[in-house]
Amino acid sequence: MIEVLWKGRGGQGAFTAARLLGAAWVLRGGYALAFPSFGPERRGAPVRAFTKLDDKPVVDRSEITAPDFTIDLINPPADVQALAEQLGLPTANTILLGKLAVELGIEITYLEQAIQQVMPEKLWERNKYAVKIIAEQGT
């Protein structure tokens, strides 16, 4: 099982990224579970989200304590933040998601399909473009 911990603040898209990763994994034929852990539900409050990926059904619904990957949306690398700003994205969540997908060998077409399943239509193009740019970079 691959376990991913997403750290962010309310409004940065940690849970959205967790859900997108899970949806892309399922589209490629696997099993996934994505869930959040909030403190107060308000913009800016600390958020942790979790994604569990496997080739068999995921039955363990406990929080992840020893993740294989930790993605920090609170303080993304400068190049990632700059790309998000260049693409007109309010957060770097789909850029970091794209980087992780490349690392995990998930085809970007699955992420693009997941974006269309999970996100509102008005956000599709910018976010699909973001993951495509990352895939082309190969990192």
Three-state DSSP at 117 gives: helix
Range of the domain at 13: 2-137
Domain count for the chain, please give it.
1
Q: Could you give the count of Cα atoms lying within 13 Å of 48 in the half-sphere of its Cβ? A: 12
Contact at 8 Å (CB) between 34 and 49?
yes
The pTM assigned to this predicted structure is 0.93
Give CA separation, 104 vs 25, 36, 99, 115, 124, in Å: 10, 21, 9, 17, 22
Is pLDDT at 139 greater than 80 in this prediction? no
Rg (CA), the chain: 14
Q: Is the pLDDT of residue 44 over 80?
A: no
Q: Give pLDDT, residue 126.
A: 93
According to the model, what pLDDT value does residue 41 have?
64
Q: What is the CATH number of the domain that holds 85?
A: 3.40.920.10
